[in-house]
Amino acid sequence: MALVTGAARRIGRAIALELARGGFDVVVHWRSSKKDAEATAADVEKTGARAWLVRADLQQIGEIEGLIGSVGELCGRLDLLVNNASSFFATPFGSTRESQFDDLIGSNLKAPFFCTQLAAPLLIASGRGQVINLVDAAALRPFPGYLPYSAAKAGLVALTIGLARVLAPKVRVNAVAPGPMLMPADMDEEYARRAVEATLLKRGGRAEDVARTVAFLATGPDYITGAVIPVDGGRAIA
């Protein structure tokens, strides 16, 4: 049984479908994209897996409590938590507002912490519990126009390593760090082009590349914890 936050669209949807194909039943979390979430759940069920839809605003601790409580009530167990939900938008230095900063830190760092803290008893009870966090290449090479986002993802890398230590040996905790892929519609085209050119492979990635890496961690070797796996076309070492 897997819970994927932000599973309605984009990378979250790809992860939910890949896990379903790998034998997981999936709780599809969504906040505002109800129709997309319903479509993801329907496609999960087409694989033969079961799917549940649960809405929650992960900026609100009470709603995270409700989400994890619903997982326990609906499914009775939790083997895998994928902290994927994320806000991402430009915040030029000098004009970033406090509300923007709080949004980015809240969705990219605070929410994964509390989702994991609240889910820990279920993950421990599973006997094979795992947490996989979605970080970003920006955690190691911060994007100048996206500093609060980059800082939040860097914090999530630290949190991944810390949680791996805190939850060992019962629960494994790892992270996947995507590079340039699925660029937002409002991203400057030149900025996006430079991001792709900064990779060794000179091309953008696909959501499926990330999903398959998550599935590898979820279903493959069980001797990996505290790792951050880049799926970035070599950008981190370029």
**Is residue 238, in this structure, part of any structural domain at all?**
no
Q: What is the pLDDT of residue 34?
A: 95
Q: 147 lies in a domain?
A: yes
- Contact yes or no for 75/26 (Cβ under 8 A): no
Look at residue 212 in the predicted model and tell me its pLDDT: 98
pLDDT of residue 146: 93
Residue 159 inside a domain? The answer is yes
The boundaries of the domain holding residue 210 are 2-232
Q: How much is the pLDDT for 143?
A: 87
The pLDDT value given to residue 132: 98
**What is the sign of the dihedral through the CA atoms of 179, 140, 155 and 123?**
positive
| b (16+ CB within 10 A) / e for 168-189 | eeebbbbbbbbbbbeeeeebee
| 3-state SS track over 51-109 | EEEEECCCCCHHHHHHHHHHHHHHHCCCCEEEECCCCCCCECCCCCCHHHHHHHHHHHH
- The answer to whether the CB of 214 falls within 8 A of the CB of 18 is yes
| Dist. CA 204–CA 183, nearest whole Å | 9
pLDDT attached to residue 102: 98
pLDDT at 186: 63
**Contacting residues for 49 by C-beta, under 8 A, at least 6 apart:** 20, 21, 23, 24, 25, 26
Residue 223: active-site member: no
Residue 201 lies in a domain: yes
Structure tokens at 12: 């979250």
Distance separating alpha carbons of residues 7 and 111, to the nearest angstrom: 15
The pLDDT, as a whole number, for residue 189 is 78
Please indicate, yes or no, if residue 23 is contained in any of the structural domains.
yes
Query: Which CATH number fits the domain that encloses residue 8?
Result: 3.40.50.720
Identify the active-site residue in 146, 149, 191, 223. 149
CA-atom Rg of the chain in angstroms: 17
Give me the pLDDT at residue 36, please.
Answer: 97
| pTM (predicted TM-score) | 0.95
* pLDDT value of residue 187: 66
Q: Round to whole Å and give the CA distance between 97 and 93.
A: 10
pLDDT at residue 140 in the model = 86
Split the chain (238 residues) into runs of 10 and give each run's mean pLDDT: 97 98 98 96 98 98 98 95 96 97 98 98 97 94 92 98 98 95 71 84 94 97 97 89
In a domain, 140, yes or no: yes
Residue 190, domain member (yes or no): yes
Length of the chain measured in residues: 238
With respect to residue 137, please indicate whether it lies within any of the assigned structural domains.
yes
**37 and 30 Cβ atoms separated by less than 8 Å:** yes
Strands (E), 152-205: 172-178
The structural domain count of the chain equals 1
